[in-house]
Structure 1
Amino acid sequence: MELTTAVAVVTGANRGFGRHLAAQLIERGAKVYAAARDPRAIDLPGAIALQLDVTDPESVAKAAAAASDATLLINNAGVSAGQNLLDGDLDGIRADMETNYFGTLAVTRAFAPVIAANGGGAVLNVLSILSWLHPGPLGSYSAAKAAAWALTNASRDLLAPSGITVTGLHVAYMDTDMAASIPPEQKSDPAVVAALALDALARGDQEILGDELTGRVKAGLAG
């Protein structure tokens, strides 16, 4: 995909990894709708603030109507309740699934016809190493990201005839608010991962491994 002429919608673009993606897309020449639940939180020069709560169907529909020239959707918005599936808080477990899976699904369903009408383009889903690795204490987040991985693969087949490529980015800890409790030496620079992801997206890659640890986990799946 040619990013210099892309019209991108980046969810969760008010901070962290999403802000890095939006900023680097602008640097590459793209028009960027930076989406957040509260558009007043968008402070990125050159970005168009877009109100979008991925768990609110009305908000999703309004965002798709407002960004009617979109050719690239980046599903980055996410939460992590970090709940044990057996005895964790059910509201937290549902929140992980509502945002990370159903939210990604809702935004994809809303924007796929928009992108197709604009001649095709791409969808990038920000997934996780935990799409494949499922530690017990993080079961709620892992289950949601595994479901989002399945969504990525299934929607790739469905959207290909419309000229829309679908790419999944799998990555371990990045230095963002979500991973604030993780030691710095265990975290990747989100700016570096964003550049890697956008380069791969421009090439048309279907799957992106954002760091060495994720690559090792992927390589070990057959075992």
Structure 2
Amino acid sequence: MQKLKDKVILITGANRGIGKSLVKAALGKGAAKVYATSRNISKIPDFDDDRVVPLALDITNSKQIAEILERTRDVQILINNAGSLRPGTILEGEKSRMEEDMQTNYHGTVDMMRQFASVLEKNAPSKIVNIVSIVAYSPFPSIAGYSASKAALFSASLSVRTELSKRGVMIQIVNPGAIDTDMNKGSDWDMPKPDNVAKIIMDRVETDELEIIPDTRGLTMFSAWRQEPSNLAAIFDKIYHG
């Protein structure tokens, strides 16, 4: 049974990368409506589908979230995908870049969950799907601010899962490895295409999988961490030091 068929879905950061692919995957699953949001509405691609409703939304703007909430009270599935990645280490990176990542990836996403929780409860059974990262398990030093923000989001997602467990709202967490998107532009890693990853994510959203790792590299890293957390840290240490 297709659990996404005829559902109303809101996807943040839908202008490119995995967000754009998630919109296409949701349409392919038979969603009744997809709210596709981006800071700049002009950058949202033409999906050539009347079910897509483009909306301008900066998740770091609490007032704007409240305004969008009033226009999307039929949402049943919230996919928090919007994020930022600023390179830099803890000791030598620009502090302002770390703060930008934390503001978007953590504070902005938490604000989305806080404001949409009552609507999702009203529309239950419903879901929040948070796109986090494999670095939630162990930081990668060259993107230390991003890693810290995603680890914080992972923890917050677990907390919200417990808070909403008796209110008909499921929390699913997606921890992908590196995906072939603009965010990872310039990397020489062999990375999967976002369209393929998005399809896997949506398949597993339908099956109510709580922890979703949609790619081979991510699974390899998770397996190393699950066996012994220091193993994943050792992998990142080796990558960082060449």
Specify if TM > 0.5: yes
1:197 pairs with one of 189, 201, 218: 201
Equivalent pairs: percent with the same residue?
31
Residue 67 of structure 1 aligns with an amino acid whose one-letter code is T
Q: Which residue is 1:108 aligned to? A: 113
Q: What are the residue-to-residue correspondences of 1:1-223 with 2, within 5 Å?
A: 2-30=3-31, 31-42=33-44, 43-46=46-49, 47-183=52-188, 186-221=190-225, 222-223=227-228
Distance 1:133 1:171 in 2: 13
Residue 89 of structure 2 aligns with an amino acid whose one-letter code is N
CA contact (8 A) 1:133 1:217 kept: no
Give the CA deviation at 1:201: 0.4
Distance 2:112 2:209 in 1: 21
Give the CA deviation at 1:21: 0.3
Per the alignment, in what secondary structure is the counterpart of residue 69 of structure 2?
helix
- Superposed structure 1 runs of 4+ greater than 4 Å apart: none
Give the CA deviation at 1:111: 1.1
CA contact (8 A) 1:167 1:207 kept: yes
Residue 115 of structure 1 aligns with an amino acid whose one-letter code is L
Give the CA deviation at 1:155: 0.8
Residue 36 of structure 2 aligns with an amino acid whose one-letter code is A
Structure 1 stretch displaced more, 56-65 or 130-139 = 130-139
Give the CA deviation at 1:109: 0.9
TM-score by length of 2: 0.88
Distance 1:60 1:91 in 2: 23
Distance 1:97 1:203 in 2: 30
Residue 212 of structure 1 aligns with an amino acid whose one-letter code is T
Per the alignment, in what secondary structure is the counterpart of residue 85 of structure 2?
coil
Count of residue pairs brought into register by the alignment = 222
Alignment gaps of 5+ in structure 1? none
TM-score by length of 1: 0.95
Structure 1 stretch displaced more, 61-70 or 34-43 = 34-43
CA contact (8 A) 2:133 2:175 kept: yes
Residue 41 of structure 1 aligns with an amino acid whose one-letter code is K
Give the CA deviation at 1:101: 0.6
Distance 2:208 2:113 in 1: 18
Give the CA deviation at 1:103: 1.0
Question: Which structure would you say has the larger Rg?
Answer: 2
Per the alignment, in what secondary structure is the counterpart of residue 167 of structure 1?
strand
Give the CA deviation at 1:180: 0.9
Give the CA deviation at 1:58: 0.7
Alignment gaps of 5+ in structure 2? 229-242
